[in-house]
Amino acid sequence: MQPHVDSVVLSLAFVCASVLLIVWLACRAIDEYFLLRDATLEEMRRFAEAFIREFERPLRQPPFLDAPIRTCIRARPGRGRLKVLLAPHRGRRYPNLSDHRTNVMYDVTRVLTALNGQPFTCRAISTSGEWVVIAFQHQCQAGRTS
Amino acid sequence: MNILLLSTGGGGGNILRSVKTLFHRDVAITGKTDEDYAKRLKAAVTTRFLDTNEFSLADIPTDERVIIGTRTTHGLGARHNPEVAREALEESRSEVAALMAQHLVIVLIGTGGKGTGAGTLFPLAQMARQQKKLVVPIFVRPSFERHEVDKRRYDHALKVAGQFESAGIRFVEILNDRGYDDSAPKPQGAVWEAMNRPIARGLRGLIHVLWDLSQVDPSDLSALFAGNGRLRIGFGEMTPHNPAEPTSEQVEEAVRQCWHNPYYAFSKPAGTSLVCIQGDWSNIADAKIKSRLAAWAMSENDNLYNPLYTRTDRSPHPWGVTALFSEYTGVHPPLSIDWGFERIPPPDLRQDVEIIERVEEPAPTSSLESVPIGALQDTCPEEEAPLAFSSFREFALAVNRSDPAALTLAGDAAAPRFSVDGSDVMKLLGTMWFRSVVQQLSREWRERILEAVLTNAAIPNHLVKIGKQSIHLNELNYDQLRTVRAQFHLPGAVRPLVELLVTVGRLWGPAAIERFSFAEPHDENEGMKSGGMLHAFRS
């Protein structure tokens, strides 16, 4: 009777240990995922802010010292994708793609050149309603998503 | 004062064409009433159109064209490239520098659109500054939102504005964006014409002030243009019906037009500003104009606005008020500008004597030339020499109009045959034209005038409140007096005294202020008595 009990205890202990290990590993993986996600998100936020700041700098010249553009950021850190949405502020006409596509493309190139060393590349420029959508891909995560 | 109106590139040329048309019309109208004045005015202003494209100057008289860089561009333009324009200017640098050297004030007009204006405006302004000229750059920032230029060129235009800022050269910046009105669409040509008109009218008013230094104090101009920041030209038209006195509504509207000019980039409060009133109306109307303009300026900030008032009496219609406002960007040392006093030709005694002799004695010229000057003077009996000037004021006026006899006397150390009355001198010191006259007098004359002022005026040693402190007038040095005058509200009795001390300090140097004797004010009315004597210093 004793050996049977021992084997049951051992089995239970093994199962418990395995479950604990799996839970620990899962927790760690989840933690790492969120850490990485937060870090990517922070990196994207910083890049987007720098991009917007440089984009609007020439538009914020005297006497136009108020915000020249409206902005919005959409990020999918898991895929390393970032969308910066820009629209003209009230009373302004830029940026828009209907008659300023070349100027927007020039400005995106100019800003990326000014922010030299950032791990983002421009994937596409499109329109969504009144917004100009500039899509970026995080270079380090480009391989993972493709 | 010689003024050069120099446009660069096609856009600048268009503005200058408008200015030139207005100016020629002015000269023609003035010539009907005062031919001599019109001739001098015309001679004082030169227009030149600088470009890299010969074809854009086809309608300009040959002597007014300045084609630069013919080897670089072959006279075909800068290919929309500011760098090419800059190289073209480098190629023709000596010619342009020689042109600038002949003038004291240089008004540069250019647009930041394509090549020539964008590439040459700032280097031209630098050249003028290096020659210690008073330079007024007028820069037009194009609109990319309205597709006048693409964004790349717009960004370059911003760099040009940035260059002016960092070099500490004040400039006028005009925003083409402001010329569009979606609610009332107009053709491009009409928009530009509508924008050119106020610029041209503003410049016209400035020309009438700047060409004659008796209208404006050179040291004030040095202060006005010092530092970085932008300038704004405003013009408000006022045409009163008979009797020639504008109504309050007309004054209000003209001042509003002058103050609110939407085409300019001007985002800081107005600091030192030149206000020129043109019109044949009473001083009551002048006071209304000054008061309303000050009210507008002080609604932004009541401490910084420092107006310099001038008046041009002989300018033709349209009358009104012209102002050159400067953004307040702090306190800056005045610009070092070569006002060209040394270029005033020294009086030619030989020539004067010959002329007198020819009139009085119809002797052959050859015999006169063989006689030494001293001998000629000896032969003139003293009692027969005409008394050219009966008073000091008359003499000063003659110096101001460059009368040869007055200039001879002004350069002479000998005592005059008329008395120099201190109260006369103090009245004259309150006028701007007299301050330029003082600069032309010999050291002995200047000392003589100062002595007259010193013996005439015992300054009541009033207490001046500066913030929470109270300081006697005799404890303030020149710089402090200037600050007090510019930044603090002074009682009516004290302000003329401070104005007098500052004027003496400016013309004779800060040490001259220490030579004044100060007396304790016996009662509050003492200041008022002195104020009566110093009424010329009241603005």
Question: How is chain A split into domains, by residue range?
Answer: 41-145
Q: What is the average pLDDT across A62-69? A: 77
Query: Phi/psi at B124 (nearest 5 deg)?
Result: -65, -45
B39, part of any domain:
yes
Residue B159 lies in a domain: yes
Per DSSP, which regions of chain A are E strands?
69-76, 81-88, 120-128, 131-138
CA–CA separation, A95 and A130 (whole Å) = 10
Instruction: List the 36-95 stretch of A: residues with Cβ below 8 A of B.
Output: 58, 61-63, 65, 92-94
Q: Which of A89, A125, A120 is nearest to A104 (CA)?
A: A125
Rounded Cα–Cα distance for residues B258 and B252 (Å): 10
Q: How long a stretch of residues is chain A?
A: 146
Residue at which a domain ends, from B232, B262, B291: B232
Cα dist. A36→A33, A76, A79, B189, B530 in Å?
A: 5, 12, 12, 58, 82
Interface contact B161, partner A, CB < 8 A: yes
Of A58, A93, A103, the CB nearest to B150: A103
**Which of B151, B158, B266 has its CB closest to that of A103?**
B151
Provide the pLDDT for residue B344.
44
Output the six-digit token pair for B503: 């004027």
Which chain A residues are Cβ-neighbours of B265 within 8 angstroms?
61-63
Task: Find the mean pLDDT for residues A77-100.
Answer: 90
Q: Average pLDDT in the A111-133 region?
A: 91
Q: What is the pLDDT of residue B243?
A: 61
What's the structural domain count of chain B? 2
Segment among A32-36, A50-54, B513-517 with least mean pLDDT: B513-517
> Which residues have CB under 8 Å from B325's CB, separation 6+?
B231, B232, B234, B266, B270, B273, B297
> Strand, coil or helix: what is B491?
coil
Whether B27 and B207 have beta carbons less than 8 Å apart is answered as no
Structure confidence at residue A17 (pLDDT): 94
CB pairs under 8 A between A and B: 34
Of B178, B210, B232, which residue is a domain's last? Answer: B232
Enter the DSSP assignment of B121: H
Q: Quick check: A106 and B151 CB within 8 A?
A: yes
Are the CB atoms for B168 and B228 separated by under 8 Å?
Answer: yes
Mean pLDDT per block of 10 residues along chain B (539 residues) reads: 88 87 82 80 89 89 91 84 90 92 91 88 94 92 89 91 92 88 83 77 81 78 89 86 80 90 84 88 88 85 81 79 89 82 44 38 37 38 54 78 74 78 79 74 85 80 78 83 77 79 84 83 51 47
Between chains, do B150 and A106 touch, taking CB under 8 Å as contact?
yes
Indicate the residue among B216, B232, B248 that finishes a domain. Answer: B232
What CATH number is given to the structural domain containing B188?
A: 3.40.50.1440
Task: Work out the average pLDDT over A29-47.
Answer: 91
**Is A102's Cβ below 8 Å from some Cβ in B?**
yes
Q: What pLDDT sits at residue A3?
A: 63
The pLDDT assigned to B167 comes to 92
Whether domain A41-145 has CATH 3.40.50: the reply is no
What distance lies between CA A35 and its chain's CA centroid?
Answer: 14
Report chain A residues whose CB lies below 8 A from the CB of B145: 92-94, 100
Separation of alpha carbons A76 and A98, rounded Å? 27
Chain A residue with minimum CA distance to B177: A92
Identity (one letter) of the amino acid at B177? D
DSSP letters along B175-191, please? EGGGG--TTS---HHHH
Name the closest residue on chain B to residue A58, using Cα atoms: B155
Range of the domain at B518: 457-537
Q: Are B195 and B138 in contact (CB under 8 A)?
A: no
pLDDT higher for A143 or A14?
Answer: A14
B146 contact residues in A (CB cutoff 8 A): 93
Do the Cβ atoms of B68 and B88 come closer than 8 Å? yes
The pLDDT of residue B341 is: 57
Distance between CA atoms of residues B2 and B211, nearest Å: 6
Please indicate, yes or no, if residue B103 is contained in any of the structural domains. Answer: yes
A62–B147 CB contact, under 8 Å:
no
The ipTM, to two decimals, is: 0.78
List CB contacts of A37: < 8 A, sequence separation 6 or more.
Answer: A77, A78
